Amino acid sequence: MTTFYHGSPELFDQFDLSKAGDGTGIKFGFGVYLTESEASAVHYSQPRHQPLAKSHYLYTVEIPGLTDDNHIVSAKPVPASIVERVETKLGKPIPKEKTLQGKEFRKWLGLTLTGGETVDVESERAAAEFLDGIGVFCNVWPQAQSKPDGLKNCAVFNAANVRIVKRERIEVELKGKKYVLVENSKQIV
């Protein structure tokens, strides 16, 4: 298992994907958005473009460990084992150019499954459910594009793969353009 964090203005006992996209959108795919950076999770506990929320929560979670064949990386080629499993289940080959980056692969898959022309929540959900069904549980991208091997963010396609191990009520304040943790404000709930 690997530890990640999630920030939210809502207190809950389990993740609910019916709300996927409400906070930060689906830029990196459909799923539960997590980060290895506690500071980033704190920042995202505040909904974008909204007045300061009354409550903020920091979730410490565990997800399955990342292996070469159980996740895709947005800016890297899709592992051959995943391409093979997708082609087998789809019953058709994937254009080579769509396998060179995980994000293009994910988008292509969603549009192929839905028959759509524009990437949207439904095409992203279709791609996520398909990938989860063949043992690919998340999409990963670097927290900072300038540090591709640094801390990671991920979108876990199925909420059942995210286990909450700690919930903390936190206070945040705006410093510059970032919401940050008010020192000594964590309270376990």
Q: Cα separations (Å) of 168 from 5, 61, 137, 173, 174?
A: 11, 12, 26, 16, 19
Q: How remote is the C-alpha of 112 from its chain's centroid?
A: 21
> What mean pLDDT is predicted for residues 113-137?
96
Q: What's the confidence (pLDDT) of residue 36?
A: 97
Question: In the chain, where are the structural domains located?
Answer: 2-66+141-188, 71-139
pLDDT digits (tens, 9 = 90+) for 45-102: 998 888 999 999 999 999 999 999 999 999 999 999 999 999 999 999 999 999 999 9
Q: What's the confidence (pLDDT) of residue 182?
A: 96
Does residue 45 contact residue 74 with C-beta atoms inside 8 Å? no
Closest CA relative to residue 161, chosen from 185, 183, 129, 189: 129
User: Half-sphere exposure of 175 toward its Cβ, with a 13 Å CA cutoff?
Assistant: 10
